[in-house]
Each structure stands twice: as structure tokens, then as C-alpha cells.
């Protein structure tokens, strides 16, 4: 995900949330947003946010929902809904799973932004680079990912999100089975054979 201009994403259009619309319309707006955020994690490919500017409210939620986020040094992240009487409860779902609880709650209670470097320090973004290197660094990560097997990446991503909410024993039971399943994939065997034979693997996709 990327954007043009000084704002990465400012979240919902507040005009859609006025009292002129009914509860059903408001429910549809937030349900669609939740569907988009959860779909990102269900996609079988990694999703990268390339952030060059301000990401607020649902825009901040979008960054937190992506698998990887690369930000320019000028980027900022905020959940300022509390300041206009609309607490960022749905963004809190993604923020609470990406940030330490006290950092997330400070953002949610105050609406004050995190700088790019603060976002990196607390784990909201993966990397911070100068603005003129943002495209290059994002593509570098993308290209490295594209060198791997698509089926293995899909299995790995799905498993990561499945196990992360589990207790330790359950997480290891899930991932132990998946490691065995991974070996049954054509690309699982191809990767091992290529390593033993000291050659580049030829993935099935």
C-alpha cells in the first residue's frame, strides 16, 4: 500500500459518519473497514505498507494491519479520534496487537502522534529510511520476498497469524504439524535438494 501527497491515509471520511446517516449505514462503514483489515492477514502473499506522511485513525490501523511497514523519516502515526469525540476503538484492535499496551493506550487516550523513529522503536513499522530511499528500500524487501516459494510463503503467513494468538503449547503443536506439512510440498523438497546440491532452487510457481 502506498499513497501520493503528504498523507498516507487519514482514515474514515467523517462526512460518512454524520447524524444524517442511520445506524445501518454507520455499521456498514465499520464492518467494511474491519473486513479490509482482516483480509490483509488472510491474503496468501505478504502485504507491505510504504508510508510517506501522516497515517491517522483507520490509516494508522491499516499500517498496523500490514505484514511489513516501511516508513520515511517524515512519517507520523496517530489515533486522534478521542479529540473529536469518536474513540479509535477499531484501530485499537490492530494497534493493541502491534504495540506494547501502554504505548497503544497513550496514543488512543491522547491522540498525540508517534514519530517514525518512535513507531520503529515500538514495533509499529519495520524500517525507517530517508524519504529519497523509501521506494528503493520497499522494493528491495519486495524483491527479496519474491525470490521465495509462493506456496511456502502462503503457508508460513497463514500459520504465523494462526499461532500468534495461541498459548505456547498450542502454538508449538500447530507449527510442528505445519513444518511436517511444509516438507510434503513440492517446493519444500525442492528447497532442501537445492541446498544439498548447492544450486538455486526452482520454485513451482
111: CATH: 3.90.226.10
> What pLDDT is stored for residue 198 in this prediction?
96
Looking at the DSSP bridge assignments, the partners of residue 115 are 76
Would you state the cell numbers that stand for residue 50, as one nine-digit string? 510504504
Please tell me the distance from the alpha carbon of residue 53 to that of residue 76, in angstroms, as a whole number: 6
Task: Return the residue matching grid coordinates 522494493.
Answer: 139
Residue 2 belongs to some domain of the structure: no
Q: pTM of the entire structure?
A: 0.91
Total domain count, the chain: 2
**Domain co-membership, 118 together with 180:** no
- Name the pLDDT band for 13 (thresholds 50, 70, 90): confident
130-161 pLDDT tens trace: 999 999 999 999 999 999 999 999 999 999 99
Residue 11 belongs to some domain of the structure: yes
Last residue of a domain, one of 128, 146, 164: 146
Q: Provide the domain limits for residue 102.
A: 7-146
- Name the pLDDT band for 5 (thresholds 50, 70, 90): confident
For residues 31-60, average pLDDT: 95
Give the residue with greater pLDDT, 38 vs 30: 38
92-102 pLDDT tens trace: 999 999 999 99
Count Cβ atoms within 10 A of the Cβ of residue 163 and give its class: 0-12 exposed, 13-18 middle, 19 or more buried: middle
Amino acid at each position: 500500500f502506498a499513497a501520493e501527497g503528504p498523507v498516507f491515509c487519514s482514515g474514515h471520511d467523517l462526512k460518512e459518519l454524520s447524524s444524517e446517516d442511520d445506524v445501518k449505514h454507520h455499521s456498514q462503514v465499520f464492518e467494511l473497514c474491519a473486513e479490509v483489515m482482516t483480509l490483509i492477514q488472510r491474503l496468501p502473499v505478504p502485504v507491505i505498507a510504504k508510508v510517506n506522511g501522516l497515517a491517522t485513525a483507520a490509516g494508522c490501523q491499516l499500517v498496523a494491519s500490514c505484514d511489513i511497514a516501511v516508513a520515511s523519516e517524515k512519517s507520523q502515526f496517530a489515533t486522534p479520534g478521542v479529540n473529536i469525540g469518536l474513540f479509535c476503538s477499531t484501530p485499537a484492535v490492530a494497534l493493541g496487537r502491534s504495540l506494547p499496551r501502554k504505548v497503544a493506550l497513550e496514543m488512543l487516550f491522547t491522540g498525540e502522534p508517534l514519530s517514525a523513529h518512535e513507531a520503529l522503536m515500538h514495533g509499529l513499522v519495520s524500517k525507517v529510511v530517508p524519504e529519497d530511499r523509501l521506494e528503493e528500500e520497499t522494493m528491495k524487501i519486495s524483491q527479496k520476498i519474491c525470490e521465495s516459494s509462493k506456496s511456502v510463503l502462503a503457508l508460513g503467513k497463514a500459520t504465523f497469524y494462526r499461532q500468534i494468538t495461541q498459548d505456547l503449547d498450542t502454538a508449538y503443536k500447530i507449527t510442528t504439524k505445519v513444518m511436517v506439512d511444509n516438507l510434503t510440498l513440492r517446493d519444500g523438497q525442492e528447497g532442501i535438494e537445492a541446498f544439498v546440491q548447492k544450486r538455486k532452487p526452482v520454485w513451482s510457481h
